[in-house]
């Protein structure tokens, strides 16, 4: 897996027995294991954020129909940016919104139910 090659721990949905499961099951797994989610299903996962006070992070690929190579070309710069941050909890309550090649936003999503 390419994320592992650059030092980012990751697990694919298929490798943890969640292939074909609903978004809320993937989100619950991520929450239980303190793992950020990378997805092209932005709207549904943003909606899931509404029900949590604290989350491990969300990385959104906004373009659809991308090949694996195109997805990686967009994801890698964002992951390297995250890795360059000095705060090890940088992704907590944060959304990385990848809008195109080399173009992403890092948005803090504060706790909604303090």
Report DSSP state, residue 16.
G
pLDDT score recorded for residue 109: 82
> 83: Cβ–Cβ under 8 A, 6 or more apart, which residues?
6, 7, 8
CA pair distance 37, 110, nearest whole angstrom? 17
Low-confidence ranges of the chain (pLDDT < 70): 1, 4, 110-114
Alpha-carbon distance values, 27 to 23, 42, 46, 103 (Å):
6, 12, 11, 25
**Annotated domain spans of the chain:** 46-54+64-79+86-105
pLDDT score recorded for residue 1: 66
The pair of structure tokens assigned to 107 is 């948005």
pLDDT score recorded for residue 114: 44
Apex 55 CA angle, 30 and 2, nearest 5? 50
pLDDT score recorded for residue 8: 73
């Amino acid at each position: 897996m390419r994320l592992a090659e650059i030092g980012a721990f990751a697990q694919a949905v298929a490798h943890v027995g969640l292939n074909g499961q609903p978004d809320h099951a993937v989100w619950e797994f991520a929450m239980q294991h303190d793992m950020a989610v990378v997805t092209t299903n932005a709207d549904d996962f943003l909606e899931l954020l509404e029900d949590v006070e604290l989350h491990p992070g969300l990385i959104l690929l906004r373009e659809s129909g991308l090949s694996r190579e195109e997805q990686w070309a967009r994801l890698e710069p964002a992951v390297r940016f995250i890795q360059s941050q000095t705060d090890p909890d940088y992704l907590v309550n944060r959304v990385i919104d990848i809008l195109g090649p080399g173009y992403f936003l890092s948005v803090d999503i504060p706790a909604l139910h303090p």
